[in-house]
Structure 1
Amino acid sequence: MATTEKKEKPKKVTPLLELPKCSKTTPSPDPDEYGDMITVVVGSGEEMRKFYTYKGLLAHYSTYFKAALKDEWREGASKTVELKEDNPEVFKAFFHWIHTGKLYFALDASGKIPLSQMLICEIFVFGDARGSPDLCNTAIDVLLQKTHQEWRVPLAEAPYVYQNTLPGSALRKFLVDDAVETYRFERLSDPSQREHELLRWPQEFLAEIVVAFVALGSTPIPSSAGYGTLSYNKNNWVTYIKPLICSRYHDHPAPPA
């Protein structure tokens, strides 16, 4: 008698969290100002990739490219920029963003954001280093959406973030806030795991978490109400965090005089 295999039910994926639009996003450039085509060579060896885009787009969204592509510099004259130390996957997201306003083309087949939390952190760092605050703001938004989908605090990414950002960084602030608001630090209460846990995270990160907890005092964390019921806790976190995104995590540089 033939046996009927039980089909596994597909895992339920959290729908993409809709975020309020930032009113201070840099407007798109006039297509008449796109200018010449530029070649950007990213990475080295077998990982090297070439991207072709407009000078005006690069300069509009990045102060680094705006300076590098001046006619008097070698890159501007040759219409080629080399970024040998950069990750091609990071630049691919930047390339996609300057053309579409999004870091990726579409959600994957399961409905998830097709970027890892680490890659999103790398995109933020790239934007920070290349003078592109709007890219950083977009990376923060996508990291928040990814965190909501996975319901995972990006703690493993903390060492990379603290090695590649400065104090006061919005990305550092998000990691600290997310840890304080939604993580329970159960392993720290276990003496056999405490030392390992303390060594895996940057000391600055731990210090900022302590400061954040002290600042709370006896005030409950709004997003933690109903802890123990995952969906309820997630809903509280979303309600709490949405109004704070733009003011707390976005960089809005003053317009040029």
Structure 2
Amino acid sequence: MATELVDIRVSATERMERVNPQSDSLKGEPVKIIVGDNNKVIYHVYEGVLRNKSAFFEAALKKEWKEGTQRIVELPEEEPSVFCDFMQWLYTGRVPCIESLYHVEHEGYMQLVKLWLLADHLIVANLQDSLVNAIVAASREPFAGRYPSAAVVEIVYQRTAVGSRLRKLMLDMYTRHVDIDWHIDNFNHEFAIDLLKALASNRTTTDEAEPEFSQLFKGVPCRYHVHYDNKPCDGGADKA
């Protein structure tokens, strides 16, 4: 079955608040970028804009590489809708999903995270940092889905490596806002282990802060005994 291709030509004059029309980055022929796997979408973007913003494109479009000579770059693992958000940022300096984030709960986080992952792939650090700022700002807003869902955490852990700054952000958000109503079984297994470690390392261990736990190693551990019929604790004495 043939793969459907949708050709989207982005005008360099559309919403150009952050791009000077006289800039050298808008001169020359556009580069053809094919995004997606099954339903591919073709974009045409000025080479100068790409190379100016992305270290990935700066390297890929050098003449010693196939992409540089053919002027075609394929991104089969990326989503066209996410690349559209990247295109808007590329030409305007704005991210379209940020404005509506506070009204769509977890879906807004998913948009931001997917765009962060694309920026990570394309090596665009300033976009990644702007997206992190947006995620943190959204988490401070008083709406129902103020923290990223298990699905958002899942994609972060699937597509980042150990030590990722985005993993660290997800972990810190959950560590500092632990909720007894969480369904931990829904979370990524690796994240659950990281969360357990983080909670263990951050917990208060002083007797003054947790007087009940302090009794574990002092005297009789009554709180762990089985008290049938609400009878007073006998201290675990052997009645035989």
**Structure 1 residues 106 and 180 mapped into 2: Cα distance closer, same or farther (>3 Å)?**
closer
Alignment length (residue pairs): 182
Distance 2:157 2:85 in 1: 22
The 2-side partners of 1:203 and 1:43 are apart by 28
Query: For residue 212 of structure 1, what is the aligned residue in structure 2?
Result: 198
| 1:170 aligns to 2:165 (yes or no) | yes
Once residues 217 and 106 of structure 1 are traced to their aligned partners in structure 2, the CA distance between those partners, rounded to angstroms, is: 34
SS at match of 1:66: helix
Query: CA separation in 2, counterparts of 1:61 and 1:211?
Result: 37
**Quick one: which amino acid aligns to residue 185 of structure 1?**
I
AA paired with 2:96?
Y
Offset at residue 66 of structure 1 (A)? 1.1
Deviation at 1:106, TM superposition (A): 7.5
Give SS of 1:116's match: helix
Structure 2: how far apart are the matches of 1:85 and 1:214?
37
The answer as to 2:179 corresponding to 1:184 is yes
Decide which of 105, 113, 137 is 1:145's aligned counterpart: 137
Which has the bigger relative contact order, CA under 8 A and spacing at least 6? 1
Stretches of structure 1 that go unaligned for 5 or more consecutive residues are 1-26, 188-196, 220-257
Equivalent-residue separation in structure 1 for 2:159 and 2:181 (angstroms): 28
Distance 2:42 2:136 in 1: 30
Cα RMSD of the aligned pairs, angstroms, is 3.0
SS of 2:33 mapped into structure 1: strand
Separation in structure 1 between the aligned mates of residue 60 and residue 192 of structure 2, nearest angstrom: 38
Tell me how far 1:35 sits from its aligned partner. 4.3
Cα offsets for 1:71-114 (capped at 9, x unmatched): 23222222222222210111111111121222218835x97479
Equivalent pair of 1:69/1:75 in contact (CA under 8 Å):
yes
Task: Give the TM-score of the pair, scaled to structure 2.
Answer: 0.64
Give the counterpart letter for 1:154 in structure 2.
Answer: P
Structure 2 contact 102–138 (Cα < 8 Å) conserved = no
The alignment-based identity, stated in percent, is 26
| DSSP-derived class of the 2:64 partner | coil
Normalising by structure 1, what TM-score?
0.61
